[in-house]
Amino acid sequence: MPVDIEPKELLEAQRAGRPVVLVDCREPWEWDIVHLPGAVLIPLGQLSSRADEVPRTGDVIVYCHHGVRSRRGAAILRHAGVEAARSLAGGIDEWALTIDPSYPRY
């Protein structure tokens, strides 16, 4: 399974009705600026201690601002037993650029 998922792939999965768990691993101040609907906020620094809050099955997509922290976050979750954890390529910034330009960019 690829480590990353492209924003368009995520959108297709959501439109197809596949259950997707979104984990935002940014900081609360970033979440306050913009976040994806239905996401749960678990900052990267808390992810290993809160990994039990994330389902062990299904599509688990971790995202951050540009996709760097989320790759680390997905690796943390995979190590904790969330085998399907992947990172949103380009983060929420790429989502705003390619999927929904109404999202604030920072």
64 noted as active-site residue: yes
Catalytic residue among 5, 22, 61, 64: 64
Query: Residue 92 and residue 77: Cα distance in Å, rounded?
Result: 19
What 3 state SS string does 46-88 have?
A: HHCCCHHHCCCCCEEEEECCCCHHHHHHHHHHHHCCCCCEEEE
Number of continuous H segments (helices) and E segments (strands) in the chain: 5, 5
Which residues are known to be catalytic? 64
